Structure 1
């Protein structure tokens, strides 16, 4: 039998051994290092525990603690992912590593603690995106040199993939730019800009993943506003267009013309096709211009306002026969750069004074046509005579002004079926006309020297085949009154030949007569004058600045 103190010592030893065995149940574990893919579903396996005890069968308790402990849960001896449809494991949000701790308790006393480090594996689940500040509208001067870097675009991929940049070549403005280094995003000017041709460009740029199988991409359209540069010369207006296409317009300075008389002085000249005026070719800059007469001012007879371009005649012309024409060379230059200038010509014609406006000898002419298939036929009037309109000008002894120009003004589409010669004879496209048709034409006679205009009407009827042309309603006999249209046409042709011969003979006689006359007594045929030029208006004496 054991003595009491030996028994007590034995009991103490057994009790100590029991506690050691129990504590060893939290031992045997180790720190956990594992990986998991982002976007993994809930319950995804993370790692197994290696502690000696069984949490379900023994008196131990395991707890997960730490910053990311809520992303895990324990299932027996296994650690699993605690995600949900509303809380997805995203590497770009959580970072690349999650950390927690596994604590083992026995009788609420911590026996051991193990670290948990989980690496989140990246998946290509994001598309690249442009940085907003790199795709804003750009303002680029048209003077920017070709091969210059005009702007840089930048995109980022949350997954860290390598990005390359490509310009969409299918768009019309793409040929202005290029990208030499695809992964740099630097856009280079490949073609000169021209504000006068195009003020705004659009370029579509792709940002594409280079190192992934998905090749996710995104696009951005960058707007380029072309800024006007001082690269154009002044241009006199109105511009005389000589060439135009989609990208270019080429025009020349107009020739300004004006008519004056021998009496005019201290008068501002009203030119045609408009007052002398120029603009800076860079329309967005509109640099102020200065005007000057380079030649032809005739010792100060003509002066120009340097700011407005108005030309004033300061003294009268003594003899229009000696100086019938003045030719002025006008310059318009930029005030900030006199090397940028344009030159135009102004013609000043000295003409005779116009006292009487021209007028038609009738207000309404009556014409007839006989229906036939001929492509062109003369229009006849009463008595089968060829219809000829005539303007009388009292400024000429014989009433005939050689500067009169005839034209048919469109009243309705049928006007295109008729043509008027400068002798006042009407020709019709008979094959387009039908019997019983009636057409009212308006004929306008313009004095190309003075700009005076006279108007008259022509009433034309289309007769049936075989129907005679009516006689004059007042009973006057006409030369071809009893002849049919065919006979009248033949006789008219003969008369026309005789008239031409007589006309040339008359010209020859007139020339001989003029050669015998003194220059001051020659006919009053005025020198050329531009159409539609209004009379000049007097103004106070203007001195050149």
Structure 2
């Protein structure tokens, strides 16, 4: 392989021709073997004293250096031309070789002058060099794969050396076009939100990478690729929930809520939840300025939105019922095509003068660590009475506001029911837990706070929500017992009142006594004997058997039967035996029917003797049905129609005259 520089080819040819012509003219006393052109190639980085070339001379010839350019590079050691310094190719000009003139002389002979041209040969003795120790590249996010982002090369003082490159990228984001062409290409689509900067190392070597050459030199440099956030996203209204679709990212906002008072103009920006209207540039690396505007819902221009801050204020009171739905747009001021929208829902409420407040500023409760989830916090360590927090609202005359909501401001260990009971939401270690509670009027969002200290004990009995302890059950049982006693007393008073003031009750008693007399003792009527008083029926009860018998008797009286045989009045028929229990049941259920006066349509309220007349003795042992005709005195009392009274008196007179053995039973 010819390592001589290409730039010296023409010089070399001319020197060869010139030397050849000179040599042909004279006989030389000295010369350089096999080098007619006297052009000598000598490698750089030589050792001092190294032989550059050796002259061949005739006997008795003396060689002397007469001139050299530059001076001081070479000397003669008899016939050896040696280097007295280290030659360097990097300082050598290939277009101007070093020159050395050597004169050879001998007595009585013409001298010979040799003009030597010394060319310094390049050796691979220098490493490649980068112009900078660190390079910086700006790469747009979402750049397509194989996009060129920069070309970084090294130089090598060894002119003949060919350089080879290798790029080390941490995640393979970039690579080189070829190993001898350091054109850096994108190999992955980069997202600014995920990767903002990539630091790489570029290596260079003056021999093929992986070769086993003896002389090989390397160098390296650092490359920092800054990922540039491009304007590819609209504003993001805060707060929002991010979602990723491939290489695209969107942010969804749930909007805002607030309240305004009817017929009242609020001063300052409206308080909204979850916070004031705010939007940021979706391209966070750009942070473009955002503007705000209403798109709709601002009826009668009641509201105004600040173009720079997004704060919503009132220009006049709201005079109509809500809710009010405002549509807000957030847009980039430099590029209005990038925008987003959200809704602001305002509830119109009647103003409140007072916020709800807790009955006490602080509460203290106790609970066992072993109580379990949803257990109630108690008022004390020795009681099963649950702790209950309460709040009042002065806007209500009785202090009761049905629109209150209790909540724990911070922490998830405990929760509060709508009724104000404290529940353990998760397992808590023994110790003292300090909480802050808030009561909120859900109608206007007014609120106040109170402190709660819960002491979590290491053990003990605990009541869970929806359960009752034995003490609670005992209290409930005692309460029920008291209620039962009171009910019994009330029933007794009612019975006493009925006995003392209701004539119907007296008639029931009289009927019972009469049946007892007929039965022959206090034990009641004999088995198989039934006594039916057909007159003790409701006026409207025309369907009963006794009512029909009474009606037949009244028809006879109206037909002029003033004298009726006693046998016609005392209807004796055979009847099947009747259970006394059936009679008792009839007495209980149809007591109103049994206590009516005989052969009358009225009830009688007089107190005194009652008389029942029989034509003949009645044998209680016979199974006969007896129709009882009331006394005239009883029939007369309280009766509204005089005709009926006269008919009863005539009937009684006839009965008395026909029966001398008549029987009268008094004082029943």
Alignment TM-score > 0.5, same fold: yes
Give the alignment partner of residue 342 of structure 2, picking from 341, 344, 354. Answer: 344
Residue aligning to 1:184: 181
Residue aligning to 2:439: 445
Indicate how the Cα distance of structure 1 residues 461 and 293 shifts in structure 2: closer, same or farther if over 3 A, else same.
Answer: closer
Residue aligning to 1:72: 74
Give the alignment partner of residue 462 of structure 1, picking from 425, 450, 457. Answer: 457
How many pairs does the alignment contain?
432
Superposed displacement of residue 315, structure 1: 4.2
Indicate how the Cα distance of structure 1 residues 243 and 357 shifts in structure 2: closer, same or farther if over 3 A, else same.
Answer: same
Provide the C-alpha distance between the structure 1 equivalents of 2:296 and 2:425, rounded to a whole number of angstroms. 51
Cα RMSD between the aligned structures? 3.9
Which structure is larger by alpha-carbon Rg, 1 or 2? 2
Residue aligning to 2:152: 153
Superposed displacement of residue 326, structure 1: 1.1
2:357 and 2:447 in contact (8 A); partners too: no
Superposed displacement of residue 243, structure 1: 4.8
Residue aligning to 1:302: 303
Alignment partner of 1:92: what SS?
helix
1:405 and 1:447 in contact (8 A); partners too: no
Alignment partner of 1:42: what SS?
coil
Alignment partner of 1:264: what SS?
coil
Alignment partner of 1:251: what SS?
strand
Higher helix share: 2
Indicate how the Cα distance of structure 1 residues 433 and 301 shifts in structure 2: closer, same or farther if over 3 A, else same.
Answer: closer
Provide the C-alpha distance between the structure 2 equivalents of 1:80 and 1:359, rounded to a whole number of angstroms. 110
Residue aligning to 2:359: 361
2:65 and 2:100 in contact (8 A); partners too: no
Give the alignment partner of residue 470 of structure 2, picking from 478, 487, 491. Answer: 487
Superposed displacement of residue 261, structure 1: 0.9
In the alignment, structure 1 residue 426 sits paired with structure 2 residue 422: yes
2:372 and 2:424 in contact (8 A); partners too: no
Residue aligning to 2:533: none
In the alignment, structure 1 residue 260 sits paired with structure 2 residue 256: no
2:428 and 2:456 in contact (8 A); partners too: no
Superposed displacement of residue 91, structure 1: 1.8
Superposed displacement of residue 333, structure 1: 2.5
Superposed displacement of residue 325, structure 1: 0.7
Alignment partner of 1:488: what SS?
helix
Provide the C-alpha distance between the structure 1 equivalents of 2:135 and 2:271, rounded to a whole number of angstroms. 50
Matches within 5 A, 1:234-383: 234-236=235-237, 238-243=238-243, 250-265=250-265, 269-272=269-272, 273-283=274-284, 285-320=286-321, 324-369=322-367, 374=372, 377-381=375-379, 383=383
Residue aligning to 2:48: 42
Provide the C-alpha distance between the structure 2 equivalents of 1:432 and 1:197, rounded to a whole number of angstroms. 39
Indicate how the Cα distance of structure 1 residues 291 and 326 shifts in structure 2: closer, same or farther if over 3 A, else same.
Answer: same
Superposed displacement of residue 360, structure 1: 1.8
Provide the C-alpha distance between the structure 2 equivalents of 1:225 and 1:286, rounded to a whole number of angstroms. 17
Residue aligning to 1:62: 64
Alignment partner of 1:112: what SS?
strand
Provide the C-alpha distance between the structure 2 equivalents of 1:216 and 1:385, rounded to a whole number of angstroms. 88
Residue aligning to 1:209: 206
Indicate how the Cα distance of structure 1 residues 196 and 123 shifts in structure 2: closer, same or farther if over 3 A, else same.
Answer: same
Provide the C-alpha distance between the structure 2 equivalents of 1:360 and 1:222, rounded to a whole number of angstroms. 65
Indicate how the Cα distance of structure 1 residues 69 and 251 shifts in structure 2: closer, same or farther if over 3 A, else same.
Answer: same
Which sections of structure 2, spanning at least 5 residues, go unmatched?
Answer: 1-25, 479-668
Provide the C-alpha distance between the structure 1 equivalents of 2:242 and 2:52, rounded to a whole number of angstroms. 81
Alignment partner of 1:386: what SS?
coil
Residue aligning to 2:631: none
Indicate how the Cα distance of structure 1 residues 148 and 428 shifts in structure 2: closer, same or farther if over 3 A, else same.
Answer: closer
1:264 and 1:313 in contact (8 A); partners too: no
Superposed displacement of residue 346, structure 1: 0.9
1:241 and 1:249 in contact (8 A); partners too: no
Higher RCO (CA 8 Å, separation ≥ 6 residues): 1
Superposed displacement of residue 113, structure 1: 0.9
Question: TM-score under structure 1 normalisation?
Answer: 0.67
Residue aligning to 1:478: none
Indicate how the Cα distance of structure 1 residues 163 and 239 shifts in structure 2: closer, same or farther if over 3 A, else same.
Answer: farther
Superposed displacement of residue 458, structure 1: 3.5
Residue aligning to 2:23: none
Provide the C-alpha distance between the structure 2 equivalents of 1:349 and 1:431, rounded to a whole number of angstroms. 39
Superposed displacement of residue 375, structure 1: 5.8
Question: TM-score under structure 2 normalisation?
Answer: 0.56
Deviations along 1:200-228, one digit per CA (max 9) or x if unpaired, are 33222122234572553221112233444
Provide the C-alpha distance between the structure 2 equivalents of 1:109 and 1:339, rounded to a whole number of angstroms. 101
Superposed displacement of residue 105, structure 1: 4.6
Alignment partner of 2:301: what SS?
coil
Higher strand share: 1
Provide the C-alpha distance between the structure 2 equivalents of 1:205 and 1:325, rounded to a whole number of angstroms. 64
Deviations along 1:231-270, one digit per CA (max 9) or x if unpaired, are 331222x33233589x987532351222101122485541
Indicate how the Cα distance of structure 1 residues 361 and 28 shifts in structure 2: closer, same or farther if over 3 A, else same.
Answer: closer
Provide the C-alpha distance between the structure 2 equivalents of 1:103 and 1:287, rounded to a whole number of angstroms. 84
Provide the C-alpha distance between the structure 1 equivalents of 2:367 and 2:287, rounded to a whole number of angstroms. 59
Residue aligning to 2:166: 166
Superposed displacement of residue 122, structure 1: 2.9
1:61 and 1:106 in contact (8 A); partners too: no
Alignment partner of 2:259: what SS?
strand
Deviations along 1:463-521, one digit per CA (max 9) or x if unpaired, are 8758x99xxxxxxxxxxxxxxx95136679999xxxxxxxxxxxxxxxxxxxxxxxxxx
1:65 and 1:103 in contact (8 A); partners too: no
Residue aligning to 2:394: 394
Provide the C-alpha distance between the structure 1 equivalents of 2:445 and 2:261, rounded to a whole number of angstroms. 11
